Amino acid sequence: MLTTIVHLITGSADLAAAFLFMYGLKKMSSPVSAPWGIRMAGIGMLVAILANFLQVFTVDEAAKPHLLVNIILAVTALALGASVAWFKGRTVAMTEMPQMVAIYNGLGGGAAGAIAAVELLGNKTHGLGQLLVTLLGGLIGAVSLSGSVIAWAKLDEILKKPLRFPGQRILNATVFVAALVVAGYIAFAVHSGAPALLPISSIIWIFFGLTLLFGILMTLPIGGADMPVVISIYNAATGLAVGFDGYVIQDPALMIAGMVVGAAGTLLTLLMAKAMNRSVSNVLFSDFGDVSKQEQGKMVGSEKPEEASDAGIFMRYAASVIIIPGYGLAVAQAQEKLYEFVKLLLSAGVKVRFAIHPVAGRMPGQMDVLLAEAGVPYDLIFQLDDINDDFANTDVALVIGANDVVNPAARTDKSSPIYGMPILNADKSKKVYVVKRGQGKGYSGVDNQLFYDDSTFMVYGDAQAVLVKMIEAVRSLGAAAA
C-alpha cells in the first residue's frame, strides 16, 4: 500500500515538474517574462528532486543497509552543488557568463554519462532496447562533457587557437567509429551472455574513454567565433542524454525535461547556424576562422580616429542613432554607462534603438542579457530582421566592441571566411562610430572593411572610458546652455 502511495505521489510530482519546465521555457521566450520563467523551471526541478527522496520508502530489504549512506551522499552532493552554483551565479562577471554556461552544461552531460555508467556497470538494464538507449545516452553525455570543457577553455582563452593537423578528420572519424564498435560489442556481450575478451567493466571504461576523447578531438579544431553555436549544440546534446537516461531509469521528469531541452537546443542551434548562413556540419567540420589559409580582399582606405567627446556631441544633435553592442561592451562592463548615455540622448529628443545580431557575443542571447542587466527597456531592443532595413535612414550607427556582425565583407567579398553571413547593415547608415580598444582584428581574426569606409570613424579606448567622455561632453552642452 505504501509503495503504491509513493508511486502515485512521485508520478504526480514528476508530471507537475514537467509542466513547470515547459511553462518556464515558454516564459523564457520573452525578456519581460524570462525571470518568472526561470523561477518556475527552478521550482519544477526542486519538486522533482524532493519527490525522488520518497523512493526511500520503496527500497527492498537488500538495499536497506546502504540506505542511510546513500541519503547522506545525495544530500551532501545537493548541498555542495547548490552552494557553489548559487555563489558563482551571484558573483560571475558578464564576460565570464559564456564560460559558466559551457562548464555547467558539460557537468549536465557528465551527470547523464555517469548515470549511464552506473546502469551499465551494475548490469541494471533490462532488454536490448534499454541497453542500447543507455549506451546512446552515455555516448552523448560523455561527448557533451569533454566537448564543453574544451569550449570553456577556448572561451576563457586558455586555449587561444584552434588545434588543427593533417589527417585530423580521419582520426576523429576513427575514434567515433571505434566507440560505436565497442558499444555494439558491449550490447552483444551483455544481451547474449557470451564470454567477453575482457571483463565487461573494462570494455565499458574503454567505451567511455573513447567517447570522452571524441568530444575533445571534435571541439579542438573549431574556431572561437563558432563557440556560441557549439555551446548550443552541446546544450541540446546534454538534454538528449538526460532524456535517454530518464527512459532507462523510468523517470518521467527526466524524460520530459531532457527532451524539451534537447528540442529547444536543437532549434536554437539551427537558428544560429542560419543566422551565420552556415550549416551545423559546416560549423563542426570546417576551418572557419583559419584565415591563414584564405586570401582575403585587401582593405581600401584608412582608419580615421575621432575623439569620444566629438562623437558624443554629434550624436546629441542627430535625429536617430542605432547602437550595436558586442563582446567588447561586456569586457569593459560598460552597459550601465551606455544606458546612461542613451538616456541623455533620449531626453534630447534623439531616437535611439539597439540592434542585436543573433550571434553577437560569445553565447546565445548574451547581448540581450547584458542590456537587460543595465535596465535598458525592452522596447528599445530590436533583432536583426526587425531593424536591418532602418539603417539606411539612420544618422548614426554606434558600434561598441562588435566586429564580424557588422563586416560588409559578408556581403561583398567571396574570399572572406564570413561571406554569406547575414550582418547588421551599419555601413548603410549616414555615419558610423566604432568604439574599439585598439586596431587589432576581432575574435574570428577577420579584417573589417567597415573600419576603413569614408563614413566610419574610430573611437579608440576602453568602452567604459569612452562612454564616460561622451556623457561628460553631452552634459557640458546642457551646463553651457544653462
Tell me the sheet residues that pair with 239: none
Tell me the sheet residues that pair with 460: 436
Treating both helix axes as pointing N-terminal to C-terminal, what angle do 252-275 and 2-27 enclose, rounded to 10 degrees? 20
Treating both helix axes as pointing N-terminal to C-terminal, what angle do 252-275 and 227-248 enclose, rounded to 10 degrees? 160
Task: From residue 60, give the alpha-carbon distance in Å to each of 3, 43, 56, 187, 469.
Answer: 11, 30, 9, 28, 71
Residue 50 CB coordination number (10 Å): 12
| Residue 226 annotated as catalytic | no
Element (H, E) at 131: helix 127-155
Task: From residue 345, give the alpha-carbon distance in Å to each of 20, 321, 349.
Answer: 41, 9, 7
**DSSP reduced 3-state for 431:** strand
Angle (CA) 369 370 374, round 5°: 110
Angle (CA) 265 143 132, round 5°: 90
- What are the DSSP calls for 38-71, one per residue? HHHHHHHHHHHHHHHGGGGGG--GGGGGGHHHHH
Q: Could you tell me if 316 and 350 are in contact, meaning their C-beta atoms sit under 8 angstroms apart?
A: yes
Active-site annotation holder among 404, 413, 427, 447: 404
Pairing of strands 431-436, 456-460: parallel
Tell me the sheet residues that pair with 382: 355
CA 447 to chain centre: 25
Residue 193 CB coordination number (10 Å): 8
Tell me the sheet residues that pair with 351: 320
What does the alpha-carbon distance between residue 399 and residue 458 come to, in Å, rounded to a whole number? 10
Q: Which residues are catalytic?
A: 404
